[in-house]
């Protein structure tokens, strides 16, 4: 009997090894795909946030740091005082290595330096073009830009104006949109589908189409120069917010309404005690949407509050600040950062509830 045929070849691959290789291959393929997607997402996020990063860095720069145009970070040259005069430090190559010397007398091909570590030696001649030397820099952010811009812009007053317009508008939007969405989601209104389509179709209507008649109407009421044109219209619902609220209300089981009706609750009681407590995510989302819209709105305040500077929101204030301090980009970016902080903080505090409301309203019903 030939026993060599029964003996396994040392190069043969067993089924266990084959399965292990297959598993490792699939794991490597999976993690490679995840890594590529993550890298792509990081690149897109970096590109998306790069303007914000530039704005944040510029806001803490001085005019000299900005006009240098060669430094991304707020860097300033380190100076050394010699005989009562400040001189910039440079990295100077010497026979003993790289030295940090202060440039005292600058010439095209021959300059004189002083060694801060040994100033008693006096001026040290150096052969070469000093413009090829690298200056010694230090990180020096100008945090004083923020209080200076805060004072110049009269930020407290404009912050109060913007906050009042936004908060009152949020209250009006939530009250009106919740009532309208509740009607579309729960009541058998004749022609409800057609009415809802007409309401949603108003989203595509440009604001410029209704600008002249709306302004003429508010002017006839004597509301120009007040906050009323910016607040009162939001007490009459908005198609986009009504759509979000209706979609969320449709996901709530009607059995809860029927149980409340058996206990003697009317429509308003059902709305207040059954619907609204379960709809906090979408209510927060709608409130945030309108708050950010009102905070950033520039078009309507420009029309109705141009002649009332004491009532203007921060969007108009920043634009006027830009016109006055156009040669001070650091001040402009500092004001933009301060105007961005309130809605950003509000979003971060309610991020979890906000995202839940957006996700659930996308459910088809």
pLDDT at 65: 82
pLDDT at 121: 85
pLDDT at 364: 45
Give long-range contacts, CB 8 A cutoff, 24+ apart: 356-362: 356/281, 357/244, 357/248, 357/280, 357/281, 357/282, 357/283, 357/284, 357/285, 357/286, 358/285, 360/248, 360/251, 360/281, 360/282, 361/244, 361/247, 361/248, 361/282, 361/285, 362/247
pLDDT at 294: 92
Question: How far is the CA of 265 from the CAs of 255, 262, 272, 351, in angstroms?
Answer: 13, 7, 10, 33
The mean pLDDT of 170-196, rounded to a whole number, is: 93
Instruction: Write the pLDDT tens digit of every residue in 58-72.
Output: 888 888 888 776 668
Instruction: Write the pLDDT tens digit of every residue in 120-176.
Output: 888 999 998 988 898 898 888 889 889 988 888 888 899 999 999 999 999 999 999
pLDDT at 83: 87
Instruction: Write the pLDDT tens digit of every residue in 71-86.
Output: 688 888 889 998 888 9
* 3-17, 267-281, 320-334: segment of lowest average pLDDT: 3-17
Instruction: Write the pLDDT tens digit of every residue in 218-268.
Output: 999 999 999 999 999 999 998 999 999 999 999 888 898 889 998 888 999
pLDDT at 1: 46
Question: How far is the CA of 50 from the CAs of 56, 60, 78, 86, 338, in angstroms?
Answer: 10, 16, 29, 36, 18
Which CATH superfamily hosts domain 146-361?
A: MetI-like (1.10.3720.10)
Residue 329 above 80 pLDDT? yes
Q: Chain-wide mean pLDDT for the chain? A: 85
The mean pLDDT of 317-321, rounded to a whole number, is: 85
* 1-10, 150-159, 246-255, 310-319: segment of lowest average pLDDT: 1-10
Instruction: Write the pLDDT tens digit of every residue in 14-59.
Output: 665 556 667 666 667 778 878 888 888 899 988 888 888 888 888 8
pLDDT category at 365 given cuts 50, 70, 90 is: very low
pLDDT at 242: 94
pLDDT at 291: 93
DSSP 112: E
The mean pLDDT of 196-209, rounded to a whole number, is: 88
Distance separating alpha carbons of residues 78 and 86, to the nearest angstrom: 10
Percent pLDDT > 90 in the chain is: 34
Beta bridge partners of 139: 75
Extract the tokens encoding 235: 């007490």
């Amino acid at each position: 009997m030939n026993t060599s045929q029964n003996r396994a070849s040392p190069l043969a691959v067993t089924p266990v090894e084959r399965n292990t290789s297959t598993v490792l291959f699939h794991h490597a393929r999976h993690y490679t795909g995840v890594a590529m997607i993550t890298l792509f997402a990081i690149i897109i996020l970096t590109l998306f946030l790069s303007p914000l990063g530039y704005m944040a860095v510029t806001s803490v720069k001085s005019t000299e740091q900005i006009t240098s145009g060669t430094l991304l970070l707020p860097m300033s040259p380190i100076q050394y005082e010699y005989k009562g005069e400040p001189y910039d430090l440079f990295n100077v190559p010497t026979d003993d290595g790289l030295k940090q010397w202060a440039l005292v007398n600058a010439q095209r091909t021959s300059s004189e330096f002083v060694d801060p570590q040994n100033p008693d030696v006096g001026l040290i001649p150096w052969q070469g073009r000093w413009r090829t030397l690298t200056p010694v820099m230090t990180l020096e952010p100008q945090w004083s830009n923020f209080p200076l811009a805060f004072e110049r812009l009269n930020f407290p007053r404009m912050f109060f104006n913007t906050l009042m317009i936004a908060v009152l508008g949020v209250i009006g939007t939530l009250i009106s949109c919740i009532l309208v969405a509740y009607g579309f989601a729960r009541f058998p209104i004749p022609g409800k589908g057609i009415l809802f389509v007409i309401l949603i179709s108003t989203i595509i209507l440009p604001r410029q189409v209704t600008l002249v008649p709306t302004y003429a109407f508010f002017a006839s009421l004597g509301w120009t120069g007040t906050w009323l044109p910016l607040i009162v219209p939001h007490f009459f619902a908005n198609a986009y917010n009504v759509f979000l609220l209706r979609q969320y209300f449709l996901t709530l089981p009607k059995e809860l309404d029927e149980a409340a009706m058996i206990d003697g609750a009317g429509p308003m009681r059902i709305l207040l005690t059954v619907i609204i407590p379960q709809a906090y995510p979408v209510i927060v989302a709608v409130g945030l949407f309108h708050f950010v819209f009102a905070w950033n709105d520039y078009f309507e305040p420009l029309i109705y509050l141009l002649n009332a500077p004491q009532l203007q929101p921060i969007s108009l204030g920043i634009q006027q600040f830009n016109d006055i301090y156009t040669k001070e980009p650091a001040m402009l970016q500092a004001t933009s950062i301060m105007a961005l902080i309130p809605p950003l903080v509000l979003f971060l505090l309610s991020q979890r509830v906000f995202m839940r409301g957006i996700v659930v309203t996308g459910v088809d019903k």
